[in-house]
Amino acid sequence: MSRARAYTNIALVKYWGKRDPQQMLPFNSSLSLTLDQFYTETSVTFVDDVADQFYLDGEVQPVSAKITHVIDLVRAQSGLQKAALIRSDNHVPNAAGLASSASAFAALALAASTAAGLKLSRRELSILARHGSGSASRSIYGGFVVWHAGQDDQSSFAEPAIANTEQVDFPIAILAVLVDQSQKKVSSSAGMAASVATSPFYPVWARTAEAAIPKMTAAIAAKAVDKIGALAETNAMQMHATTLSADPPFTYFEPETLQIWEKAREIRRKGLNCYVTLDAGPNPKLICQLQDVEKIIHEFQKEFPNLTFTSCRPGPGAYLVNE
């Protein structure tokens, strides 16, 4: 039995669109920060049974095609022909408004490959996790992580954006704001596919996002949180422009999303660094200096007393809990 833990991540330059859905190859590279608050722990045991089994938070669940795909890759690489017994515990509360597929598939890749006797490098783990969910390729590493779009299976992997460090002492905080707990109306996969197929802006998005990677990397190297936030906010809104410009158009924004974005811009006019990013849902994440967290929460709660904030810092890469 092998048990692994992996944390979720927030993309500062987004992945939005698959060039090759079969191989999970994206159109553009993306860059994220692994967080320290939300994680998945997964144990895998290979057993003499007829079929794979999956338990989530103690409840038996259907084994999804994505899970089967990752386990099949592990079986092919190891030569093991047994069934996988998978037990997963999610510590990604709905209240965070964060997706769990990144932490889930990063933990599964590490636990399953280890249980099968494989000793994969981080790069190999990142490629394996990518086959479950694109963003999971990044959660193999801690801190700031870049996922290179690549040309094929072996060249599409993630690695630290800045060498030799998980950046746990970086003076940045991410505040996850909850405005809506309901299920997202359009899944990430469906939303990406619609943007790719129908937005006339899609090629411009992919080119502009790729060009944002070196700019974001330079801002991280300079520890310039204001620059990181400004680049991330611009990139997020450019991603959302590919949904508003799709045919038919759609959006992940709710009215509160725009109110919070407006409030962040007001706070900036007061001289505090406070920037917004959001993924395939209405819950914004605020990017700010660590030292400003209390002041920014206070500013928001004056106007929105019922909002909940979860303060996150840079988190670690995937690791084994025991073997």
For position 101 contacting ligand 2P0 by CB under 6 A, the verdict is: yes
Instruction: Round to whole Å and give the CA distance between 234 and 239.
Output: 9
Give the residue among 7, 12, 8 at the shortest CA–CA distance from 31. 12
Using the minimum distance from each CB to ligand 2P0, give the nearer residue, 45 or 156. 156
For position 196 contacting ligand 2P0 by CB under 6 A, the verdict is: no
Using the minimum distance from each CB to ligand 2P0, give the nearer residue, 240 or 267. 240
For position 40 contacting ligand 2P0 by CB under 6 A, the verdict is: no
What is the nearest approach in angstroms of ligand 2P0 to the Cβ of residue 144? 13
Angle at 8 between CA 173 and CA 35, to 5 degrees: 20
Angle at 103 between CA 100 and CA 106, to 5 degrees: 140
For position 11 contacting ligand 2P0 by CB under 6 A, the verdict is: yes
For position 299 contacting ligand 2P0 by CB under 6 A, the verdict is: no
Instruction: Round to whole Å and give the CA distance between 31 and 14.
Output: 7
Instruction: Round to whole Å and give the CA distance between 218 and 221.
Output: 5
Using the minimum distance from each CB to ligand 2P0, give the nearer residue, 31 or 267. 31
Give the residue among 93, 54, 263 at the shortest CA–CA distance from 178. 93
**In degrees rounded to 5, what are phi and psi of residue 271?**
100, 5
For position 311 contacting ligand 2P0 by CB under 6 A, the verdict is: no
For position 109 contacting ligand 2P0 by CB under 6 A, the verdict is: no
Using the minimum distance from each CB to ligand 2P0, give the nearer residue, 29 or 310. 29
Site string for ligand 2P0, 171-190 (x = CB under 6 A): -----------------xx-
For position 133 contacting ligand 2P0 by CB under 6 A, the verdict is: yes
Q: Is 87 in contact with 42 (CB distance < 8 Å)?
A: yes
* Window of 83-91, 133-141, 226-234, 262-270 that interacts with ligand 2P0 by CB under 6 A: 133-141
* Window of 73-81, 115-123, 129-137, 206-214 that interacts with ligand 2P0 by CB under 6 A: 129-137
Instruction: Round to whole Å and give the CA distance between 215 and 20.
Output: 26
Cis peptide before 248 (omega within 30 of 0): yes
Positions in the binding site for ligand 2P0 (CB under 6 A)? 11, 14-16, 24, 30, 99, 101, 133-135, 188-189, 279-280
